[in-house]
Amino acid sequence: MILVVCELCGAKNATLKLNVEGSVMTACHNCKSFGKVISKVEQTKPVRPREIKKVIEAHNQAVEQPVETEEVLVDDYGKIIKTLREQRKMKQEDFAKKLRIKTSMLSNIETQQFEPKFDTVRRIEKMLGIKLIKKRIVEKQKINDFNTENAEPTIGNMIKFKTRKN
């Protein structure tokens, strides 16, 4: 509880807002009769320093967190492999042999019916001199909704929370 000083007697227990001859003043219960009661003094629960520290720590952590990426095959890897293989006048059988995979597997890779393992892809990349793996930013689920049970406190919703209480 924040102690509000009564502007009429100086007591630190003002609970009312009075209209005293046209001006708004805070007043304790004893000074009530000096004016007309407008409303109660709004009591706002102060945010404890420990809570603020926690929120700031969580905020800083979120800000400093490096962007997470994952590696994925390019969309049209099959077409690229097939085109470059053919440009080098390599038969599927020969290329498959160099890659140490079955011809049927290479065929499936080229038609994108089969997604090759990354170590196979790396060998293809090296042989064809082209990148087939790209980095993609991992989308993280946002947890900003203060109304949900598992919500993390953020600076933003702490302000929202405070505003709501005021």
Contact residues toward Zn ion (CB under 5 A) are 6, 8-9, 11, 28, 31
Cα(156)–Cα(138) distance, integer angstroms: 23
Instruction: DSSP letter for 30, please.
Output: G
Of the pair 41, 52, the CB lying nearest Zn ion is at: 41
Contacts of 18 (CB under 8 A, 6+ apart): 8, 24, 25, 26, 27, 31, 32, 34, 35, 36, 37, 38
CB of 13 to Zn ion, least distance (A): 8
Q: How far is the CB of 166 from Zn ion (least distance, A)?
A: 24
Q: Which is closer to Zn ion, CB of 13 or CB of 154?
A: 13
Smallest separation, CB 8 to Zn ion (Å): 5
CB count, 10 Å around CB of 101?
Answer: 19
Of 29 and 131, CB closest to Zn ion: 29
Q: Measured from the CB atom, is 28 or 106 closer to Zn ion?
A: 28
Least separation in angstroms between residue 55's CB and Zn ion is 36
**Closest to 58 measured CA to CA, from 136, 129, 135, 146:** 146
β-pair partners for 26: 17
